[in-house]
Amino acid sequence: MRNQDSQLPEEASEELWGHDTDPDGPGSSFLDRYTGHSVIRLSAGMKVGNFKLIQALGNGAAGFVWEAENETLQSRVALKILCRPSPLAYRGLKQFQLEARAASQTQHEGIVRIYEVGQIEGIYYIAQELVNDGRTFDAVIKEAKNTPEKFNDYYRFVAEFFSRCAIALGSSHDNGIIHRDVKPSNILVTPNLKPKIADFGLALLTGSAAGTHATQTMGFRGTACYSSPEQARGLGKVDCRADIFSLGVTLYEALTFIRPFERKTREEQLEAVRSYFPLEPKKIIPRIPWELSVICMKCMEKSPGRRYQSMEDLANDLQRYLDQMPIKAKPPGRLYRAKKWTLRHPVLSTTFTAVAVVIVVLSYLSLELFRWQSRAEVFSTLQKLEAAVQPIDELWPLHPSLADQCEDTLRTVEELLSRKYIQREYLQEILSQMSPNTALDRYLFDGINSLAGTLDDYENPKTGLLDGVSLEHGWGLRRRIDKIQRLNDQTLQSPEASRRWRKAIQAISESSCYRGLKLEPQFGMLPLGENSDSGLWEFVHLLTGNEPRWNPDTGQLEIDGDSGLVFVLMPGGDFEMGGQDAELRRFDLQPDSLKETPHFVHVSPFFLSKYEMTRAQWKRVTGEDPSPPPAEGKGTESFATLPVSQISWKDCQQVLGRLDLSLPTEAQWEYAAKASTPWLWWSGQEPSSLYGSANLGSWSNPLWPGDERGEPGEQNDGFDLAAPVHSFKPNPFGLFNVLGNVRELCQDDLVPYYLPVKAGTAERAPLGRIFRVVRGGGFADSIYDARSSSRDGIEPFQRNHWIGVRPARIIQGENKDQSGWNQILNSQWITASVSDQYQPQTSVAMDEGTLIVGIPIRKTGIDTGSNHHETASERGEQESSGMVLILEKVGGLWMEVAKIEPPENAPYRLGFGASVSISGNTLIVGCHHEAHSENPPGAAFIFEREGGDWVLDELIPGPEEERPNYFGQAVRVSGDFALVGAMGSSRIQQNGGAVFVYRRVKDRWEIMDVWAPKDSFPDQFFGKAVAISGTFAAVGSSPPSGVRSSVHLYEFSSGRWSLMGILNNPTGVGNRFGNSVDLEGNTLVVGSCLDSEAALFSGAAFVYGRANDQWIWKQKLTASDQIGKDHFGQSVAISGNQILIGAHWKGAPKAKSGAAYLFQLRNGRWIEKSQLLARNANTGDGFGFFVDLNGATAVVGQAQWPWNQNAGSAKALVFDLENNKPRSSGFVNASGRKRE
């Protein structure tokens, strides 16, 4: 057997985990010390049992593969050796044993045979068939792509090969084994080109194959781009049709040499599997036989019910193709049957050619007439149905305010489903009349077929959108309406509900625990009363079940399978998060994302479930129980009260959100778990204190190796796996199993603690990392991993049988916190009145204690799609001028000290202030419009500060050109150099752009150089953005199309400027890369406001560092809350260890109100620190179009939209970054007077 995942040299040396050496010994790694395992080296000649290692063949996720010789039988085998079990060693071992068990239960020539499974001296191995000179199928695909001449009839070979694969996998399915990881690298190819299916490490054993223990699905651990949609979504247990889909993806790759779902990240691949519909193979390569294309696409149907229902069906259809018989993938039309008949009977077909032509033509005309009559009705109904049900998944969370919308949607759907044209009998009639010989027919056929399957999505009584329940959609519409009506009465309107809420609200407001908290009635919940032990109030959540009974004898609630979630109202407050103990040597070895550095955090009051969510509760709201069957033993008599598991972070986002619940933030979870205690465990400082209060592997599982932190074997809690959620003792807040039982998912990304937190919930600012936080330890974990501060992570789509959930809920009403991560409101407005006929902008610049605000004048109501080359008079603009405000800080406020307007006799006036820049006592103002000229050249004004006055030192007119050149649209000054961008200059190419470089010589500014883009092309707009710092300069090119955008870099040396290099978007797409630039020292920031990698036009910024005369890309910055069309990166600024990025289309708090994002450099990474928002923002304010940053002060300019409610008022925002709270709510107008 050869595994091509990773080729190893012949003298390869591998590491394996053993159990014998000192974990603190020389050379031990972090993982060695964490697990207490030693390292064993593998090398050629080493003996493993009866096998002598010959050469390394490869390695994969589960183990190393070596060619070995059985010295007893003198035969060669492939020896697969377990090399990387998890710190809980038995988990990896179980998966390894599963592979051997699954493959050995199927004896078929197309499946790699298993000879022996063994263990010796801590090394686990599988001896299996060695495919001599074999290779994996992906190597065959690559060979076919590069050297197609080696295959006489490649497509016939593919059909035969995949027919054999299907037969082999069908044999496996017949034995109750689902492979779940079918892909080219898991299909070995013998020298005579026959397949051998390998690697059953992720197999699912069903029926008798599972034996006495059901297979535990270890979350999603397959290969994302080959997985089936049901695997990617986690919709219940998969069956043989998942393997059919994966084999179809492999067939697609073999036919087209393209992996249809391959993307950059695993999450993107899973999303593509769930929602992306790849192009038919024949449309990619026309010579592909139509039959193979159809077979491939049928295998890859999103719905399992529309695929082949068995591998036998697939193999039979492939054989039909090989035998030149009609395939059954789609009902064959008349022309298609005739075509196949002529291939099988060439002599007879020649005799009847003339007759056949006449028959075919008449049949075709009849079909066309029927099709044209029905097409419009069918597709019209299909489109209306699709549009009507689209809001269904948005009708959450359930609340009385949604009742009318649910009823209206239900009526619309019922009316559409009753129409004749979408009844199954009518659709079958249409399908039977169709011939799939034209693209239009195939499109129509696919659409109607899809609709027929969609009908079941609505009408299925168990899972349908009308009466059913499913993980994908939740409750059907009729169920939602019923629950809203009943719970509105039960929890809000009934006399009993009103009485209980009045009592609870008064008691909570008077309680010393809650410090005057004002609570409102919460829809879907009822107060249960105050817990006498904790002093905290508890509530039942009736959406998830019934009210539990109170047992007066035990003083506890009696939880059964019908019980709903019980929530404890947490008081909130400040607490110390994290923990450190000198005895725990592992702490200092942790990566930043896992460090538990103690720090204080504040959380607002919130609800948290008293118990982990049960299997019964999850099933009631999703229709399925994903958890594995429990092991035999104590507590298994009540499956329904076991904690739900095998659920992912993504599942919880979807399911809990429908119930107006959420995952707790990491801070909320730790606050509740510690319950105001100062120890490593809420039960005490010693590990033994936790016995009787937590279900952990250190006490219960004999497979746990143990270490000095937990003593196995001495005590036994009676549970090998999960225990019922009400087992053991609660913590001081009344929470059961908050440590142990199952690990519990949290809302946050697994990120370092130095990141800021969101006010209220204390959610940590995300970094876009792949892992989400899990807390609390589980039934297989050590006592050490069950500490209240212990952190771990899991991928968002991953499911494990030791992962569960403890839901949280924010308090509805006036206490609901809606603030964001350290959001800073502006400390001050800078405003100026302009005529309401004009659409104001505010360009901004800062230097030390001086703030510059440019206010160019632009007429409102101009069609942005109009001809930009029209003159002012043609556009109906009036002659006017802009202005520049100069402000200095006086007594904590920025006060206007001067207002500059262009001289009245200056020919360049309109647009004065379009761009501004200041360096010391030098100010440059760009003016890129002029009212008197047919083709305004623009201008740049340079002012010098003399005493307290600003005096015009130089007026630099732009060059006359045949077209507007936008000279002055971008300006920058630094010391004795000034740059003026003219992005519309047509000196070389139309709108190719140019930058004019000026130098101060004595008291005059003289032109020094004119930069043009290298390899200029039309509409390049070189000079859209400019930046200069010392002897370095940067120029952004931002073509409207976004394609081929770039940044040119220049260096001043030996008395001249020289081009250093050109930067392009490192992600490979233009997207207005270079729309904005800024430089400081050895750091360059480049804005790319239309970057769409995360969402359409969400934007990004790229940070570069200079080293050894090279500018190296360091990091891509994006907004933590990015959505489409934010235009993040429209403007950028850098000052010291801070970067400010504008997003002028950000839609919160109002549409296109805009914002800016502050990033800070920490440990070599730029981390989002704050969002800068406007007080009382209005729709269309466009804040973030301009930004600048100087030390602890940030200024944000705007570009208002014509529909802005405050047209006629130009504004800029000033932020004091040293104090997150605004120090002034007043305005400063152009006269310098403060107005409250």
Tens-place pLDDT, residues 542-591: 999 999 998 887 778 999 999 999 999 999 988 888 875 444 433 333 44
Pairing of strands 843-847, 1227-1228: unpaired
Token pair listed for 1004: 């005059």
- Please state, in angstroms and rounded to a whole number, the distance separating the CA atoms of residues 978 and 999: 6
- Of the pLDDT bands very low, low, confident and very high (cuts 50, 70, 90), residue 387 is low
In this structure, which amino acid lies at residue 827?
S
- Of the pLDDT bands very low, low, confident and very high (cuts 50, 70, 90), residue 1203 is very low
pLDDT digits (tens, 9 = 90+) for 297-335: 999 998 888 899 999 999 999 999 998 888 888 744 444
pLDDT digits (tens, 9 = 90+) for 142-161: 999 888 777 778 999 999 99
In this structure, are residues 37 and 88 in contact, taking their beta carbons and an 8 Å threshold?
Answer: no
In this structure, are residues 1109 and 1082 in contact, taking their beta carbons and an 8 Å threshold?
Answer: no
- Please state, in angstroms and rounded to a whole number, the distance separating the CA atoms of residues 991 and 995: 12
- Pinpoint the alpha helices (H) of 1144-1213: none
- Please state, in angstroms and rounded to a whole number, the distance separating the CA atoms of residues 930 and 948: 29
pLDDT of 1030 reads 92
In this structure, which amino acid lies at residue 364?
Y
> Token pair 């020389």 is at which residue?
26
- Of the pLDDT bands very low, low, confident and very high (cuts 50, 70, 90), residue 931 is very low
DSSP per-residue letters across 54-112: EEEEEE-SSEEEEEEEETTTTEEEEEEEE----SSHHHHHHHHHHHHHHHHT---TTBP
Average of pLDDT values for 462-466?
A: 86
| In the chain, % of residues over pLDDT 70 | 73
Which among 856, 523, 805, 804 has a CA at the least distance from the CA of 662? 805
- Please state, in angstroms and rounded to a whole number, the distance separating the CA atoms of residues 1135 and 949: 27
With helix as H, strand as E and coil as C, how does 1020-1076 read?
CCEEEEEEEECCEEEEEECCCCCCCCEEEEEEEECCEEEEEEEEECCCCCCCCEEEE
> Token pair 């959620």 is at which residue?
725
pLDDT digits (tens, 9 = 90+) for 1003-1019: 899 999 999 998 888 88
pLDDT digits (tens, 9 = 90+) for 755-780: 778 878 989 877 766 789 999 989 98
Average of pLDDT values for 1087-1110?
A: 85
pLDDT digits (tens, 9 = 90+) for 205-252: 775 455 433 344 444 667 899 999 988 876 556 889 999 999 999 999
- Of the pLDDT bands very low, low, confident and very high (cuts 50, 70, 90), residue 810 is very high
Which among 1109, 1223, 1220, 1099 has a CA at the least distance from the CA of 1169? 1220
- Of the pLDDT bands very low, low, confident and very high (cuts 50, 70, 90), residue 937 is confident
Q: Could you give the 3-state DSSP secondary structure of residue 461?
A: coil
pLDDT of 442 reads 60
Backbone angles phi, psi at 742, to 5 degrees: -125, 150
**Count of alpha carbons within 13 angstroms of residue 356, beta-carbon side:** 14
Higher pLDDT, residue 76 or 367 = 76
Is the bond preceding 591 in cis, omega lying within 30 degrees of 0?
no
pLDDT of 858 reads 57
Pairing of strands 772-775, 599-603: unpaired
Higher pLDDT, residue 109 or 1085 = 1085
- Please state, in angstroms and rounded to a whole number, the distance separating the CA atoms of residues 58 and 918: 61
* CB neighbour burial string for 1145-1183, b if at least 16 within 10 angstroms, e if fewer: bbbbbbbbbbbbbbbbbeeeebbbbbbbbbeebbbbbbb
- Please state, in angstroms and rounded to a whole number, the distance separating the CA atoms of residues 822 and 752: 16
Name the CA dihedral angle for 1010, 1014, 1016, 1019, rounded to a multiple of 10 degrees: -70
| Long-range pairs of 359-362 with CB within 8 A, sequence gap ≥ 24 | 360/334, 360/335
pLDDT digits (tens, 9 = 90+) for 333-348: 444 444 444 444 444 4
Higher pLDDT, residue 340 or 54 = 54
- Please state, in angstroms and rounded to a whole number, the distance separating the CA atoms of residues 761 and 606: 8
pLDDT digits (tens, 9 = 90+) for 604-622: 999 999 999 999 999 999 9
Is the alpha carbon torsion for 654, 657, 661, 662 positive or negative?
positive
- Of the pLDDT bands very low, low, confident and very high (cuts 50, 70, 90), residue 703 is very low
pLDDT of 98 reads 60
pLDDT of 1056 reads 95
- Please state, in angstroms and rounded to a whole number, the distance separating the CA atoms of residues 262 and 274: 13
pLDDT digits (tens, 9 = 90+) for 1120-1148: 777 777 889 999 999 999 999 999 888 76
Average of pLDDT values for 1154-1160?
A: 91
pLDDT digits (tens, 9 = 90+) for 866-908: 333 344 444 444 445 788 999 998 777 888 899 998 877 766 6
Q: Could you give the 3-state DSSP secondary structure of residue 338?
A: helix
Neighbour count for residue 10 (Cβ, 10 Å): 8
Pairing of strands 1083-1088, 1073-1080: antiparallel
**Exposed / middle / buried, residue 325 (Cβ in 10 Å: 0-12, 13-18, 19+):** middle
Helix (H) or strand (E) holding 367: helix 353-389
Q: What is the mean pLDDT of the chain?
A: 79
In this structure, are residues 1191 and 844 in contact, taking their beta carbons and an 8 Å threshold?
Answer: no
Helices 439-459 and 403-417: angle between axes, nearest 10 degrees: 130
pLDDT of 379 reads 56
Report, in angstroms and rounded to the nearest whole number, the Rg of the chain calculated over CA atoms: 35
Is pLDDT above 60 for 738?
yes
Average of pLDDT values for 190-205?
A: 85
